[in-house]
C-alpha cells in the first residue's frame, strides 16, 4: 500500500514542474505497477492486473493410443514417398549417407514447453530436437521467464533473443525460444479467452489455400490440392545423369498435374550456385512457381550471387534461418521472393510477426514452412496479410485420408486444399493435462 503523501514526496524528489500532479515517469511507473489507481481517503490502493508466469518447463505429451497416426502408421495402397525416396541434401556428397536423410539426421524427437500462470492457466508450445532443446528450456531460459507478466509479450521475446547471446541465438537455442514463445501465446490466449489469431490482429482471411508437399502427386490431386511441391532427388554429385533424372522427375509431375496447376521444387540446402543455375535453366520449360532453399543457409554471398544469376526464377528460402535477423537481411537485399520461416523453429509467433512485417514492407510474401501442419502455423497464417498460402506436408500413405494420419488434436485439416481456422482459446489444442509429463521424468 502506498500513501498519496509518499507519492507526492517522490514527485518533489524528481523536481516535477509545478502544476503537474505527477511527473511522467512516476505516472508511468504507477500505471504499470498500480493500474488502475483507486484512492481511499489518503491512501492509494494497488489493484494489480498483471498475470504472472509461475513455471516454464520442458514437457513430453503422451498421446493416447486412440489418436490416429501417432503410434501406428495407417497402411495405404502404396508406401508414402517419405519411406524410400532419395532427396538431395547437404550430406549427399558422402556416399554412405546419401541414400536417405534418415541415415544421418538426429533422433532427438520433439519437445513441448508448458507455461503455467498464477491462476493455473497453462499453455503449450512445440518444437523439434528434444534433448538439447529441453536442456536450454529447463536449465536456462524457462526459469528466467518466471515472475513476468504473461501480457508482456514483446519484452519476453526480446529477453529470449538476448538471453541466448552467450551461446548463440540461432540453431538449437532458436528451437527452445520457439517452444517457449508459442507456449506463452497459447497461455495468453487462454487467459483472455481468445484464439491466438485474434491476439495477432484478428482473422485477415476466412480460409487459406494449402499446397501439398511430397512426391505422391496423384494422391494429392485426389485429395483436391491444386498446387504441389516436389522434393528434388539429385544434386551436384550426381552429375549430368542426375540433372537428366531431375528433369524427368519434374516433367512427369507437370504432365500429371497439367499446365494450370502450380508446381514448385524443394532443394533442401543441397546445391551450390552453379548447379542451381544449371538446373533452373534445364527446368525452365516446366514453369516452376519457385525453387526452394537451394543453398546452404549460411552462404550469404551465394544468395546474392544466385539472385544475380537467376533474375527470372522465383526463389524461396528461410526454412533453416533462425531469429528475425537473416529474414530482414533477405527482405532488404531481395535475395528471395518468398520467405519461409518455420514458426516452431525460428523463434515462434513473435519472431514470425517481425519477419512478416518486414516482408510486407518489401512486397515479399511469407509462406511458413509446414505452416498448414500445425495449429501454430495456421493461426499465424490466418491473421497475417503477407501470408497467401500454407504448406501442407503429406507423409501418410496414398489412400489414407488426411484425418487418419497424424495431426495435433484440435488442428484443422485441408478439405479440397483449403483450411479454415479452429476458434478455441489459445491455439485450440485439445490436449488433456493428464497426457503431459515432465520431459526428464521418463529418462
Tell me which DSSP letter residue 165 carries: G
- Of 317 and 422, the one with the shorter C-beta distance to Mg ion is 317
Q: For residue 238, state whether it binds Mg ion (rule: CB under 5 A).
A: no
Helix (H, G, I), strand (E, B) or coil at 124: strand
Closer Cβ to Mg ion, 196 or 232, answer by number: 232
Q: Given candidates 266, 267, 270, 280, which one binds Mg ion under the rule CB under 5 A?
A: 266
DSSP of 93-114, one letter per residue? TSHHHHS-GGGTS-----EEEE
Q: Is 320 a catalytic residue?
A: no
Q: Give the residue at shortest CB distance from Mg ion.
A: 266
Contact range with Mg ion by CB under 5 A, out of 142-150, 178-186, 260-268, 372-380: 260-268
Q: Smaller CB distance to Mg ion: residue 82 or 121?
A: 82
Considering the complex, state which of residue 181 and residue 319 has its C-beta at the smaller distance from Mg ion.
319
Question: For residues 4-63, which are near Mg ion according to CB under 5 A?
Answer: none
Sole residue written with cell 556416399: 95
Q: Catalytic residue among 191, 320, 369, 379, which?
A: 369
Question: Which parts of 293-332 interact with Mg ion (CB under 5 A)?
Answer: 319
Count other Cβ atoms within 10 Å, centred on residue 159: 16
User: How many other CB atoms are found less than 10 A from the CB of residue 98?
Assistant: 20
Q: SS3 string of 287-349? A: CCCEEECCCCCCCHHHHHHHHHHCCCCCEEECCCCCCCHHHHHHHHHCCCCEECCCCCCCCCH
DSSP state of 286: G
Q: Write the DSSP assignment of 21-88 as a string of letters.
A: SS-HHHHHHHHHHSPSPEEETTEEE------BEEEEEEEEE---TTSTTTSSPPP-SS--HHHH----
User: Do β-strands 365-366 and 389-393 pair in parallel, antiparallel, or remain unpaired?
Assistant: unpaired
Residue found by looking up cell 497459447 in the block? 186
| 115 vs 370, beta carbon nearer Mg ion | 370
Binding range to Mg ion, per CB under 5 A, among 178-186, 264-272, 281-289, 432-440: 264-272
Write down the least CB distance from residue 268 to Mg ion, Å: 6
Query: In angstroms, what is the minimal distance from the CB of 417 to Mg ion?
Result: 19
- The binding track of 199-228 with respect to Mg ion, each residue x by CB under 5 A or -, is ------------------------------
User: Nearest approach, Cβ of 127 to Mg ion (angstroms)?
Assistant: 17
Q: How far is the CB of 176 from Mg ion (least distance, A)?
A: 22
Question: CB of 285: closest distance to Mg ion in angstroms?
Answer: 23
Q: Which phi and psi angles does 14 have, rounded to 5°?
A: -90, 5
Q: What's the closest the beta carbon of residue 279 comes to Mg ion, in angstroms?
A: 16
Of 138 and 319, CB closest to Mg ion: 319
Q: What residues make contact with Mg ion under the rule CB under 5 A?
A: 266, 319
Q: Which residues are catalytic?
A: 369
Amino acid at each position: 500500500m502506498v500513501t498519496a503523501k509518499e507519492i507526492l514526496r517522490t514527485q518533489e524528489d524528481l523536481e516535477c514542474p509545478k502544476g503537474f500532479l505527477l511527473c511522467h515517469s512516476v505516472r508511468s511507473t504507477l500505471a504499470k505497477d498500480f493500474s488502475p489507481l483507486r484512492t481511499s481517503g489518503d491512501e492509494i490502493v494497488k489493484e494489480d492486473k498483471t498475470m504472472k508466469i509461475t513455471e516454464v518447463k520442458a514437457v513430453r505429451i503422451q498421446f493416447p493410443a486412440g489418436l490416429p497416426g501417432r503410434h501406428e502408421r495407417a497402411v495405404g495402397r502404396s508406401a508414402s514417398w517419405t519411406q524410400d525416396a532419395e532427396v538431395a541434401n547437404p550430406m549427399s556428397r558422402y556416399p554412405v549417407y546419401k541414400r536417405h536423410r534418415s541415415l544421418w539426421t538426429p533422433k532427438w524427437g520433439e519437445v513441448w514447453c508448458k507455461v503455467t500462470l498464477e491462476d493455473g492457466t497453462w499453455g503449450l508450445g512445440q518444437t523439434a530436437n528434444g534433448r538439447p532443446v529441453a536442456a536450454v528450456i529447463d536449465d536456462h531460459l524457462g526459469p528466467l521467464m518466471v515472475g513476468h507478466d504473461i501480457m508482456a509479450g514483446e519484452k519476453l521475446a526480446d529477453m529470449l533473443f538476448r538471453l541466448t547471446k552467450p551461446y548463440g541465438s540461432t540453431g538449437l537455442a532458436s528451437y527452445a525460444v520457439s517452444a517457449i514463445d508459442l507456449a506463452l501465446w497459447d497461455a495468453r490466449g487462454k487467459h483472455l479467452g481468445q484464439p491466438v489469431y485474434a491476439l495477432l490482429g484478428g482473422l485477415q482471411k476466412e480460409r487459406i489455400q494449402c499446397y501439398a508437399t511430397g512426391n505422391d502427386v496423384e494422391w494429392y490431386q485426389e485429395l483436391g490440392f491444386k498446387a504441389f511441391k516436389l522434393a528434388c532427388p539429385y544434386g551436384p554429385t550426381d552429375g549430368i545423369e542426375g540433372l537428366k533424372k531431375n528433369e524427368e522427375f519434374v516433367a512427369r509431375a507437370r504432365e500429371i498435374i497439367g499446365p494450370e496447376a502450380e508446381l514448385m521444387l524443394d532443394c533442401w540446402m543441397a546445391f551450390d550456385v552453379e548447379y542451381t543455375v544449371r538446373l533452373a535453366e534445364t527446368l525452365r520449360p516446366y514453369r516452376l512457381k519457385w525453387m526452394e532453399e537451394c543453398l546452404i543457409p549460411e552462404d550469404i554471398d551465394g544468395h546474392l550471387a544466385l539472385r544475380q544469376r537467376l533474375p527470372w526464377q522465383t526463389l524461396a528460402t528461410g526454412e533453416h534461418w533462425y531469429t528475425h535477423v537473416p529474414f530482414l537481411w533477405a527482405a532488404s537485399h531481395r535475395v528471395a521472393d518468398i520467405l519461409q520461416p518455420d514458426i516452431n523453429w525460428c523463434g515462434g509467433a513473435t519472431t514470425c510477426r517481425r519477419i512478416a512485417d518486414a516482408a510486407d514492407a518489401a512486397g515479399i510474401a511469407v509462406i511458413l514452412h509446414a505452416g498448414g501442419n500445425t495449429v501454430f502455423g495456421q493461426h499465424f497464417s490466418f491473421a497475417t496479410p503477407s501470408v497467401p498460402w500454407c504448406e501442407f506436408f503429406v507423409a501418410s500413405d496414398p489412400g489414407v485420408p488426411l484425418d487418419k494420419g497424424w495431426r495435433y488434436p484440435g488442428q484443422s485439416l485441408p478439405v479440397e486444399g483449403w483450411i479454415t481456422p479452429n476458434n478455441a482459446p489459445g491455439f485450440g489444442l485439445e490436449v488433456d493435462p493428464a497426457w503431459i509429463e515432465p520431459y526428464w521424468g521418463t529418462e
